[in-house]
Structure 1
Amino acid sequence: MMTFSPSSLAELRAAVRTIEQNGRADGRGAVPFGLDAVDGRLAGGGLAMAALHEAAAASEAPGDMAAATLFVAAIAARFSRNEGDGQVLWALTGPGLFAPGLAGAGLTGDRVFFAACRDDAEALAAMEDALRHGGLAAVVGEISRIDQASLRRLQLAAEDGGSAALLLRRWHRRGGDPLAAPSSAVTRWRIGCAPSAVLPYPGIGRARWHVDLVRQRGGPPFHWLLEAPDGEARLALPAGPRDRADPAGRADRLAA
């Protein structure tokens, strides 16, 4: 039986990570959230550029779906700002998004344009074409159903074009967790609403979310309690850090 020293194992893991993060995603690095508590748990110190990332609501509740949408909008805004006011394409199949809401999460109207698509197939085609074009900071798509081959095509298109692919997975009408099936995405996220902090005066506190990193390539799952993004696409930790290691496989239980 072969044995390896700790240093050899570390070098081997680094080599495997390099192979997994092939294409332009490896060369262009990652875009951080700007929170050490989050970036420190991500394998690349942030969200890999030129890669596919998925997010879904924790439930079919409208509040959770809105939270997941704003989470993706904030990520897209961060990619846009990283590229120096880079443009974002958002492909959608349902009713139009609420532009002031997106702007409140940092994705202002001058940074994004929309592609109204008839169905998931057309939205996926628009995403792939936009990703391979290579002139966008990020490409967002709202998708209900997608197969493994299409997921892999999006990942390859992101690597080829150098743009981030952000897939917002919608719940099926007949139910079923959008993140239940395997995926080639580099990260997968589940977002749900949490109670806001009680204020010492009348009013509503900053929205809070349960943010679950269900899966990431090269690292473990994790869970945070975070405050919703502001107009600069910055999420925040509540007063008194509440982030913690994935409690007894919380992300795995949610995925199941």
Structure 2
Amino acid sequence: MYYCLGGKRVENRFPQTYEVIELCLLAGKIMLQCGGETYRVEDTMTRIAATFGIPQSHSYVTPTGIIFSIDGTEPAKFIRISERTTDLYKVTLVNGVSRKLSSGELTAEQALNRLKEIQDADFTFPIYQQIIAASISSGCFLMMFLGQWSDFIPAVIAGGLGFVCFVYIHQILKVRFFSEFVASLVIGLIAFLFVKIGVGTQLDKIIIGSVMPLVPGLLITNAVRDLMAGHLVSGLSKGADAFLTACAIGTGIAVVVAFY
């Protein structure tokens, strides 16, 4: 069985339609789980299907699931997305696999194996590096918001300890938004303590700088981009997710400020 690729007659080494669907769904699943935009996920799945001579494919992507179908051949298949994180390196790798498929550098079987390797791989930085990065960025955000150098160290400590609480509470207790609430509460308490003992001076700047590593920036960006691309369901759901996360962060700080 053959198909046309770049004007050339190429042997189709992956003729089974259900296997093409599996390849497309795996690529979409990895991208969606790792923070890819909805329109990028749909475009990648469509391009992979078109590579194997299936131009009439349809996909419907939401933050919690993917529906993919091919006209007149196979029933629509659904895959559930239960956990989402931020790993843009995996999104880049999947895009690379898609491009190599389109150019004929990879066979379908090689691409499927490569996607399985990407799915199982762990490219996240060690926890201690994430904590160090969150601490330093908290101090840098403090200065960006016109804080004083005397508050740099308090912001670094508050941001680091708050991020520690966020990471470990999220691992232990699988309750959405609770880890953000506790982390912001800890940040507020530490910032208040530093100001109380005279180590810090500007409470608001310390708090603002320290909570920035918790702010769902990628989620907000993807929500806006999905809305602009016409994916209203995904855009609104991601926007609601980001709004609730921001509310959890704000509630933790508000509790401290209320007592303060």
The alignment's TM-score, normalised by the length of structure 2, stands at 0.23
Greater helix share, 1 or 2?
2
Greater strand share, 1 or 2?
1
Give the greater-gyration-radius structure (CA): 2
The alignment's TM-score, normalised by the length of structure 1, stands at 0.23
